[in-house]
Amino acid sequence: MDPELDISRILLDLFLMYALATLGSEVFQRLKQPAVVGELLAGILIAGLALTIRSPVYDVVAEIGLIVLLFTVGLETRFSSILQVGRTATLVAVIGVIVPFLLGYGVMAAAGQSSLQAFLLGSALTATSVGITARVLSDLGVARAPETCVILGAAVIDDIIALILLSVVSGAGRGSLYVTDVAILAAAAIAFTVFVALVGTRATRRYGSLLEKLHLHDAPFVTALLICLGLSAAASLLHLSALIGAFLAGMAFAETQDRYALEERIQPIYAFLVPFFFVVMGTKVDLGTLLKPDILSLALVITLLAMVGKVVGCGLAAMRMGRFRASIVGVGMMPRGEMGIVVALVGLRLGLIGDDIYGTIIFMALVTTLVTPPLLKLLYHRAKPTPSAPTPALEGQPACER
């Protein structure tokens, strides 16, 4: 039997990955740091010590984990909430995508890379990983403050924009990038998104109760998983990212999720499969390459641009909320995580980028994620002597639904 497919070895490796991911997650949570950092570092350690074999099976397990992750994010995203989120959040999202994208694109183009590579790196800098910020703000007792609402709303729009950019990268991946291709792929991605968001949301709202008539055990949940797989496959076959399908499937069920406790039921699958995604991503980092002086300086420059891009872009867009809240919004939008790593992975898989750029993007995701919580705490600490007192919501502003 092919050693890459030897089941004893695969089981052992899966155990090692899950064990180290769990350990990393535990250690980082004890240090009051995001669990995802521990999982990525576990993967880097595994690759560094060559603890596991390289098998394509792990990529598939990671991909399924990623689909579950995006589906869960989708379940937390109500289409109606996005529509309500208001001008500020949209502005923060859009400007907060454009500025880092242009910075990333510019630096790569200036370094003489191809337009596709520059596009890819720019895209990797766009999507905010809002989980970490949300957790920190909620720990600080400001979960329903207006700046939190803006950050959460903007991050969702961010995710959608990043998924569309990713679809462009995936679709254009096999050739060089022309403006017309970008336009066509972006149009396809937007059409798919709008179609599924509108039709899917209405369908689950109108026909959701039919699921209760099925004899199938746990029918609503099983159907939701089925639609998640189906839309992921459909998106993938349309040369869009499979993830946009998973995300939209989640969003379509977000309106009915309370009734069937879908979010609660997806949690065990999340706990089982999602860590594999981050560990496998970590194993793809080649520390030897990353630690070379020229690559490391590139990584530092990109990381700095990633931070400046969001603070300036989002901060300016939020300036009408006042300087303090605008700075919170800017810093809160800094962490990059899943989506940036996904873009990097797609680039690596298509051969668009090498170990150097891949390592750079992971480095950027790790640093922006690690730096944000202390910075946010510092900002709140400076502004108010009692950071634990909840900030009152702005008049006329609805409380966050999320």
7 vs 83, which CB is nearer to a second copy?
7
d(C-alpha 228, C-alpha 266), whole Å: 12
219 vs 300, which CB is nearer to a second copy?
219
Q: How far is the CB of 289 from a second copy (least distance, A)?
A: 23
Q: How far is the CB of 67 from a second copy (least distance, A)?
A: 8
Where do we find the tokens 């730096």? 371
14 vs 371, which CB is nearer to a second copy?
14
d(C-alpha 236, C-alpha 124), whole Å: 19
107 vs 225, which CB is nearer to a second copy?
225
230 vs 322, which CB is nearer to a second copy?
230
Where do we find the tokens 């010590």? 49
| Token pair for 295 | 């690559």
Is the distance from CB of 340 to CB of 169 less than 8 angstroms? no
Is the distance from CB of 125 to CB of 105 less than 8 angstroms? no
List helix spans (H) across 128-200: 130-139, 146-172, 179-195
66 vs 311, which CB is nearer to a second copy?
66
Q: How far is the CB of 109 from a second copy (least distance, A)?
A: 28
With b for 16 or more beta-carbon neighbours within 10 A and e for fewer, the 120-157 pattern comes to bbbbbbbbbbbbbbbebbeebebbbbbbbbbbbbbbbb
Q: Please state the separation of Cα 349 from the chain's center in Å.
A: 18
Name 25's Cβ contacts closer than 8 Å, sequence gap at least 6: 35, 38, 39, 275
d(C-alpha 76, C-alpha 69), whole Å: 11
Q: How far is the CB of 166 from a second copy (least distance, A)?
A: 14
Return the closest-CA partner of residue 154 out of 334, 362, 392, 352.
334
Q: How far is the CB of 291 from a second copy (least distance, A)?
A: 30
> Using CB under 8 A as the criterion, which residues of the chain lie in contact with a second copy when the complex forms?
2, 5, 7-8, 10-12, 14-15, 18-19, 22, 25-26, 29-30, 35, 56-57, 59-61, 63-64, 67, 214-219, 221-223, 225-226, 229-230, 232-233, 236-237, 242, 265-269, 271-272
239 vs 296, which CB is nearer to a second copy?
239
Q: At what angle do helices 115-124 and 355-383 cross, to 10 degrees?
A: 30
Q: How far is the CB of 12 from a second copy (least distance, A)?
A: 4
